[in-house]
Chain A
Amino acid sequence: MNHLLLRPVAEADLPTLVRMAAASADGISSLPSDEAKLATRISASLQSFASPDDASGEETYLFVLEDTAAGRAGRVVGCSGIAASAGFFDRFYSYRNEFVVHASAALGVSRRMHTLHLCHDLTGATLLTSFYLDPDYEQGPAAQLLSRARLLFIRAHAERFSERIAAESPGITDAAGQSPFWDAVGRRFFGMDYPQAEVIVGGRSKAFIADLMPPSPIHVALLPEAAQWALGQLHPVGELPFSILQDEGFDADSYVDIFDGGPTVEAPLASLRSVRLAREVVVQGDDALVRGPSELALLACTERARFRAVLADVGAQVDAATAARVGAQPGERLVMTPLQTQEAA
């Protein structure tokens, strides 16, 4: 566990990102499976971390998880990202779940009907993106570090981000890559398969695509059963990152993706567990003074250009050796948040 290091992506990580993008299922990862596009993502991230200017909202940040254990030679085993403002260049579309009671006193019927409203609610929210972790590391706390360190970064640089955080999760598809929700909704307006649409849509903004979708609410009762069932269902590859977000306190019931019906979670930053329980700790030069109870935690040096996060035992203070793992010196202030996903009673 003490061998994992989360850091901003570097140019040298390109070959690794290419490998990870290829390993993640088609149309599921938010990593483009194209080397030139990945190189662009890396340089955009380098620029975002380096820029001292006020945030414009177009920034994207990419982090990688490195295994620093002896013999692994700094192997990169995962990545995760942040987009400062969803739909920055355009609108960000979601379907919002709404329930309307249709009632007739004369007929003695009153029913709560589920509808999907095309909306821009999440435009401007900060998006957690690009989560990928090598399957070898899925058991254990690596995923926690990879996902939640982003929240410590956002917390430390709140002026660069929205107070509202959201994350998309891939919706369910069958073995052939077909999405029942797409078949019932998107296909009627695009006249093509989901995988085909993914290719055509490519990196285009969803706003452009959404012009093709009906502006009026969709009545879920009118959809075929398979599509009704698929609504809000996760693709299995999304289960691990989704469960972490659920434990953080994200709301998963309000929004779904307009294409595959996968859940889009959202929450105010301040309500998230990692943020609520985060506290500052000072690096103590004299190890003898580091005493008292400690707990397993995410520990981060949150300074923008040298952001680092690790998993460590942390008490009221941090010893120099632990601090060195995030590149910090005695006297500096770091931020920790408990690893434990259950809150103490």
Chain B
Amino acid sequence: MSRVLTTPEPAGLRLVLADGRASLLLVPRLGLALPRYHFRLGRVVHAAAELDLFRVQTTLLLGNDHTGSAELAELRTAAGLSEADQGAALSLLIAAAQARLSERPADFGGWLVAELPGWVDDAQRSPFWQALGARFYPADPAEAERRFGADWRSHLAALLPRQTLYLSFLGEEAERRVLDVNEQARPALTALQAAGFLPPVHARIDDGGPVLAWPVPSAR
């Protein structure tokens, strides 16, 4: 088993497998300088017994729920690894990060979260973006992400609706794909789920990718 090397960086701790197969950045508390936004998925029932109507709607609410949580960011694996090897390599780093949080809970937020990129089709189009973000930001999101990095989503939030949105307004494809991951992130998703991360209730605001969260045991 490969050793985990830990290097402090301004933004957090860089965890790298000594054999170079994977790395990630463990951020102690996210969103304290530039606010971070996610959509929280909720459920609303509109019922009218007299009309024999009972409709369940999924809602999206823009918020900063994970402010102060610890984060696993910049999950990366070496090129050429099989999905199983990517998952195994990331699992080692995730376990190391979880151990660190359990040992020194005071240094981190009470939850450990990880954002994963959302589903795109073969042409790299995100149906969630097409149905929502594109209606509010009339330029290329990839270009903006190259320019601002992950911070781009904090800027995007300023353009998005603040009030509860009904997912059904976004159309069937976006509805089906919200919380679904990009194929390339599937090993990471599997590794996070295996490490005890809970089923996502938050989505990334640009592509609808899932935000997984793990409650730090000692913090509960």
Contacts and interface: CB of A to CB of B under 8 A. Distances in A.
A212 B137 contact: no
A276 interface: no
B144 to A, nearest CB: 6
B159 A222 contact: no
B35 to A, nearest CB: 13
A188 B53 contact: no
Interface in B134-188: 135-139, 144, 148, 152, 155-156, 158-161, 163-166, 168-170
A209 B44 CA distance: 16
Interface residues of B, number: 32
A54 interface: no
B165 A219 contact: yes
A124 B132 CA distance: 37
B46 A189 contact: yes
Contact of B166 (A103, A200, A209, A214): A214
Contact of A200 (B47, B51, B55, B158): B51
B54 to A, nearest CB: 10
Contact of A191 (B53, B163, B165, B166): B53
A208 interface: yes
Contacts of A113: 136, 161
Nearest to A185: B169
Contact of A107 (B44, B47, B137, B165): B137
Contacts of A222: 131-132, 135, 165, 169-170
A251 B131 CA distance: 33
Main secondary structure of the interface of A (DSSP, over half): mixed
Interface in B39-97: 44, 46-48, 50-51, 53, 55, 57
Contacts of B51: 190, 200, 212
A56 interface: no
Nearest to A113: B136
Contact of A221 (B46, B136, B148): B136
Nearest to A197: B51
Contacts of B163: 216-217
Counting chain A residues whose Cβ lies within 8 A of the other chain, the interface size class is 20 to 34
Contacts of A111: 136, 138, 159
Nearest to A204: B50
A107 B155 contact: yes
Contacts, number: 84
Given A109-B138, A113-B136, A211 B165 contact: no
A189 to B, nearest CB: 6
Interface string B19-36: 000000000000000000
B158 A103 contact: yes
Interface string A187-223: 0111100000000100000001101111111110111
Nearest to B163: A216
A188 B168 contact: yes
Contacts of B168: 188
A102 B160 contact: yes
A342 interface: no
A212 B159 contact: no
A212 B136 contact: no
B55 to A, nearest CB: 6
Given A188-B169, A219-B161, A222-B170, A104 B156 contact: yes
Nearest to A108: B139
Given A107-B144, A109-B138, A222-B135, A191 B159 contact: no
Nearest to B160: A102
Nearest to A102: B159
Contacts of A223: 169
A73 interface: no
B89 to A, nearest CB: 35
A288 interface: no
A191 B135 contact: no
Nearest to B170: A222
Contacts of B161: 113, 115, 217, 219
A106 interface: yes
Nearest to B155: A106
Contacts of A106: 148, 155, 158
B145 to A, nearest CB: 11
7 contacts: A102-B136, A102-B159, A103-B159, A115-B161, A191-B53, A211-B46, A216-B165
Given A211-B48, A216-B163, 5 more contacts: A107-B156, A190-B51, A212-B46, A212-B47, A219-B165
Q: Which 3 A-B pairs have the closest CB atoms?
A: A221-B135, A216-B164, A104-B158
